[in-house]
Chain A
């Protein structure tokens, strides 16, 4: 087990990259702590899988280095890196029995037979397949095959990291919860570094201690679920995390105030001058509806079970708010923003307040 360092890492699939657009991954510097549970979150095609394949050694980065601990493994093949990877679709050896599938990575490394038997038993118990260990993998359902893949990823105890590439895509919803919970408890038990790629924010937020959000070949934020929620570093994070995503409104920010057309909103913190397109972001959870504040036009109200979502418009820009139970929409609806919960963005990136008097 070891720390994974990505140093000035970038990757382009074209041999002569000309501009930024040719890079599947833009230059990044990151350290993944040993024993961490990370989720790699982003929309399809943002470079998640490329990054994962670079860490596992299936793709050699065109720029920069990859370090495991202090060892530079940029040029080391997959087999030398001692990592495990679980793919999006089940990869099982059809003609082998479930037992042989699970034992395969250990046998290839010349492990002791007694140890293999013991380890396969443990894994089989974990994935709930003890009673079908002797069956051929071929006839099993996609669910079961993916569980074998997960088991095979988990069977080695000494791996540097276990990488999961959207492993639960083909699994039934109720099974997803169960497996995800098992992965978490395994992580607690064995302390492997786990990197979990997904485009499902629920999956990412429930699995990981740290969520790495990628957008257009860049890591835009690496933080705890709470940090992603409260202080998204990029408008994409604000929009992608949370349901519905963060409200973004064009504004002029001066000092502790933001001007939205004719009205001004207190920010709860002081900001220096901003350049480029300036927006303020506020989570729908921190927007309150009453008969005081900024006037909005209500479009509709959606009932999503736990609460209702108010879809409204403010000066022609969409604005969503969470309506707690028991609150009715007044005849002349107005909204107020919780001051400490407002973030300021210039050209999509979060601007650090110069002074947090309001206690953000």
Chain B
């Protein structure tokens, strides 16, 4: 090959490199810098090695937050995925009603996170909130500011309200792509409703479900704004998820070293779990192909 080598072409990628450096690499490096050093201000840094990481890995506080975080993600996945599928299966397939339902379903997705938090914070208040007041009037002892269980229920219900639409809309798109002939063939084959779901609808939804589960997992694992607005992580630490804990540590207590080590590990954990999810689900798919 007699191609002319012109290394000047490398300069063409320079603008992108600069942009990425400013937007991602330099901020990330700052975090890395804090994670491996100790500082008492004045821009003086002392090498701390892996101390902060060790500190965090053995910290009960982090363990508890991680436990709560995993529990939260599992609960909302266990509710939102089946519920989303169920809603998608029962949505009107065409005509005026389908458009209306689509718009209604999309509404929660358009509300900003902190507004969602505020809505539920007020909605659940016993003194002025519709939900809290109604429950109190019915004689049910509900108070998300005092009772950890009530706080959890509130946060979970809020997330379900906010995000089930996403799962439902993705599944709906998957269902719409099934040609009518499949349902007709199933009728002729005398397939039961369950068989139709198991062998026609579910396989067609497979791809979008993978995306839905991944998105919901990542988002829920990083959840911050909504529970912060509603419960502020309380009562006690009962709804302090990883992000909330991290923010408390970094901007509340100004423990930048541990917080930096924490966030690097946090990032890697999300990356790892997402990768495992993706690999497992795509491999399942491939094995079925054999």
The secondary-structure label for the interface of chain B is helix
Nearest-CB residue, chain A, relative to B202: A95
For the complex, count residues of B whose C-beta is within 8 A of A. Answer: 19
How far apart are A209's CB and chain B's nearest CB, in angstroms? 24
Q: When chains A and B are docked, how far (Å) is the Cα of A84 from the Cα of B186?
A: 11
Given A87-B184, A105-B189, A136–B289 Cβ distance below 8 Å?
A: yes
Q: Does residue B1 face the partner (Cβ distance < 8 Å to A)?
A: no
The reply on B140 being an interface residue by CB < 8 A is: no
Give the residues from 41 to 80 in chain A that come closer than 8 angstroms, CB to CB, to chain B: 53, 56, 58, 77-79
How far does the alpha carbon of A104 sit from the alpha carbon of B288 in the complex, in Å? 18
Task: Given A79-B190, A104-B191, A152-B189, verify A85-B184 contact (CB < 8 Å).
Answer: yes
Contact B288 A95 (CB under 8 A): yes
A247 CB to nearest B CB, Å? 40
Do the beta carbons of B190 and A108 come within 8 Å of each other? yes
Determine the chain B residues whose CB is within 8 A of the CB of A78 once the complex forms: 184, 187-188
Is A173 among interface residues, defined by CB-CB distance under 8 A?
A: no
Residue pair B182, A91 in contact (C-beta under 8 Å): yes
How many angstroms between the C-alpha atoms of A85 and B186 in the bound complex? Answer: 10
Q: What are the interface flags for A85-117 relative to B under an 8 Å C-beta threshold, 1 for contact and 0 otherwise?
A: 101110101111000000011001100000000
Q: Quick check: is A135 within 8 A (CB to CB) of the other chain?
A: yes
Min CB distance A308 to B, Å, is: 43
Establish whether residues B289 and A108, one from each chain, have CB atoms under 8 Å apart when the complex forms. Answer: no
B8 at the binding interface (Cβ < 8 Å): no
B94 at the binding interface (Cβ < 8 Å): no
Chain B residues with Cβ under 8 A from A94's Cβ?
199, 203
Among B179, B189, B192, B290, residue most surrounded by chain A Cβ atoms (within 10 Å) = B189
6 additional A-B pairs beyond A53-B184, A87-B181, A105-B190, beta carbons within 8 Å, are A79-B188, A79-B190, A95-B199, A108-B195, A136-B289, A138-B289
The 21 listed contacts between A and B (C-beta, < 8 Å) are: A78-B187, A78-B188, A79-B188, A87-B185, A89-B179, A91-B182, A91-B185, A93-B199, A93-B203, A94-B203, A95-B202, A95-B203, A95-B288, A104-B191, A105-B190, A108-B189, A108-B191, A108-B192, A135-B290, A136-B289, A138-B203
Closest 9 CB pairs of A and B: A108-B190, A91-B185, A105-B189, A87-B181, A93-B199, A78-B187, A95-B203, A139-B289, A94-B203
Interface, chain B (partner A; CB < 8 A): 179, 181-182, 184-185, 187-192, 195, 199-200, 202-203, 288-290
A residues sitting closer than 8 Å to B (CB atoms) are 53, 56, 58, 77-79, 83-85, 87-89, 91, 93-96, 104-105, 108-109, 135-136, 138-139, 149, 152
